[in-house]
Amino acid sequence: MAKAAPLRIAIVGGGLGGLAAALFLRRAGLEATVYEQSSALREVGAGIVVAPNMVRPLATLGLAERLPEFAVQLEAAWEFRRWQDGRVLSVQPMGEECVRLYGTHCYVAHRADLLALLQSALPAGALRLDQRCVSARDATDAAELVFADRGGRETAVHADVVIGADGIHSVLRPVVAPEIEARFSGLCAFRCLVPAADAPPMALRAVQTLWLGPGRHFVHYPISGGRLVNVVAIVPAGDWRTESWTADGAIADLHAEFEGWDARVLQLVDSATETKRWALYDRTPLARWHAGRVCLLGDAAHAMLPFFAQGAAQAIEDAVVLAACLRGVDAAGVPAALARYDAIRRPRASEVQLMSRGREIRNHLPDGPEQLARDRALASGDPLRQSAWLYGHDVEAACASG
Ligand SMILES: Cc1cc2nc3c(=O)[nH]c(=O)nc-3n(C[C@H](O)[C@H](O)[C@H](O)COP(=O)(O)OP(=O)(O)OC[C@H]3O[C@@H](n4cnc5c(N)ncnc54)[C@H](O)[C@@H]3O)c2cc1C
């Protein structure tokens, strides 16, 4: 009997999700081409928590052992501090406890380093840069994509499988599901990178720290082997509505948001030379992630508020499952394989999306009885164990049973 022709797989978007998908597909014996609109792969954004449910898939790819080359292994996390004086409200030791519970350490990294790690494992021909997807059409026999380069030259590509890994403003999403409305959260995020030499010593510890205060909170942890401190501040948005990770903000505006806070917070802010600022929008889970030969993955499928630090981890879980579903499938079997992927992944990622809502209400309580009750609850909490459903999830087993 003639061997089935290899599947033609096109991945739109070369972010963490798209590259992870290409790598897991290769591991499943499938060749995929990643089409990325930028002319060089670069991660906007700065720090990222590489949670155990992201580290384990990286270990499957043989990449986790390289994390210590650039990432910082967390000794403690969820170190909640009071805004006014830095009093520690609670702290969660990580280290060996994390390994014992979830089989791996938890890291914090620069997103660009993580992206470079994934890219280093891909053969050069698998990535096509300067290819912006401008249209997509699904048909029974093959999907058709059109890409435009910077010079306006268009190329048509036919594929048996199209994976929309093109992020929060996905052009593939409308092919799969009715467009979802983005709901403004009323908040925005400032983000900066501070050279370690300028940061207060407490910010150099291998600890993810969250300062809680009325109406806003402030997060920091070291990245890039400790050479930089990543800062994210969530504050009321005012009239800021731009939802772009590359829009510039003003350090003076960020400073003004934290006037009166502990001096170490302001020292970190004042040590930054630039900041990005974007409005935070929430999205309701999609009703479907696939249609015919086209499916969605990562933020294109499940853009979420950043309060669980899980967007990329969920994208990588998607990649594991999608590759398992497509393994050994011929072109005719693609729609059923994508339906299986959707059935396995959508409920879990949607749950994380929904859980990520509303966190800020607790983090932003004004001083008073509710804040005191929250602080008591934090002191007796056990976030590492309470996160078992996230960090302990066995994505390989989910493929086997789904
Ligand atoms: C403040 C903040 C903090 C976060 N912290 C964490 C964290 O600690 N841990 C965590 O796991 N997650 C975190 N996340 C979420 C995480 O960053 C995202 O979920 C993740 O980067 C999504 O990856 P992706 O590949 O799906 O999309 P993206 O990273 O957005 O990549 C999409 C790619 O597609 C390309 N593209 C777009 N349109 C087209 C087109 N038409 N044609 C071709 N290419 C196209 C883009 O150029 C881009 O390269 C955070 C997010 C925010 C906002």
- pLDDT digits 0-9 by tens, 182-212: 889 999 999 999 999 999 999 999 999 999 9
Inter-CA distances, 362 with 191, 212, 213, 366, Å: 21, 9, 10, 10
Task: Note the pLDDT tens digit of each residue in 141-191.
Answer: 899 999 999 999 999 999 999 999 999 999 999 999 987 888 899 999 999
- The answer to whether residue 64 sits within a structural domain is yes
**240 within domain boundaries:** no
**Res. 312: pLDDT tops 90:** yes
DSSP 193: E
1 domain residue, yes or no: no
For ligand 1, whether the C-beta of 12 sits within 6 Å is yes
Strand order through the sheet with 72-73: 47-50, 107-110, 72-73
From the list 25, 23, 31, 192, the residue with the least C-alpha distance to 115 is 23
Does residue 166 have its Cβ closer than 6 Å to ligand 1?
Answer: yes
pLDDT score recorded for residue 40: 84
**CB of 47 within 8 A of CB of 192?**
no
Q: Which residue has the tokens 């010593």?
A: 201
pTM of the model: 0.95
Look up the CATH number of the domain holding residue 141. Answer: 3.50.50.60
pLDDT value of position 343:
97
Residue 277 resides in a domain: no
- Is the Cβ–Cβ distance between 179 and 28 less than 8 Å? no
Length of the chain: 402
pLDDT of residue 178: 84
**35 is an active site residue:** no
Domain assignment of residue 347, yes or no = yes
Asked if the model's pLDDT at residue 33 lies above 90, the reply is yes
Q: Is the pLDDT of residue 1 over 60?
A: no
Cα 118 to ligand 1 centroid, rounded to whole Å: 14
* 260 in Cβ contact with 238 (< 8 Å): no
Give 91 or 358, the one with higher predicted confidence: 91
Residue 45: pLDDT band with limits 50, 70, 90 = low
- pLDDT classification of 259: cutoffs 50, 70, 90: very high
- Domain holding 295, by residue range, is 9-76+105-181+284-362+384-401
Question: How many whole angstroms from 20 Cα to the centroid of ligand 1?
Answer: 12
Burial of 310 per CB tally in 10 Å (0-12, 13-18, 19+): buried
Task: Kindly state whether residue 49 falls inside one of the protein's structural domains.
Answer: yes
Q: What's the chain's average pLDDT?
A: 94
Q: Do the domain assignments include residue 216? A: no
Looking at residue 250, its pLDDT comes to 96
Answer yes or no: is 93 within a domain: no
Catalytic residue (choose from 102, 107, 221, 341): 221
Q: How many domains does the structure of the chain reveal?
A: 1
Average pLDDT of span 17-30: 98
**What average pLDDT does this structure show over 254-274?**
96
Instruction: Please report, rounded to a whole number, the percentage of residues in the chain having pLDDT higher than 90.
Output: 86
Distance 15 CA to ligand 1 centre (A): 6
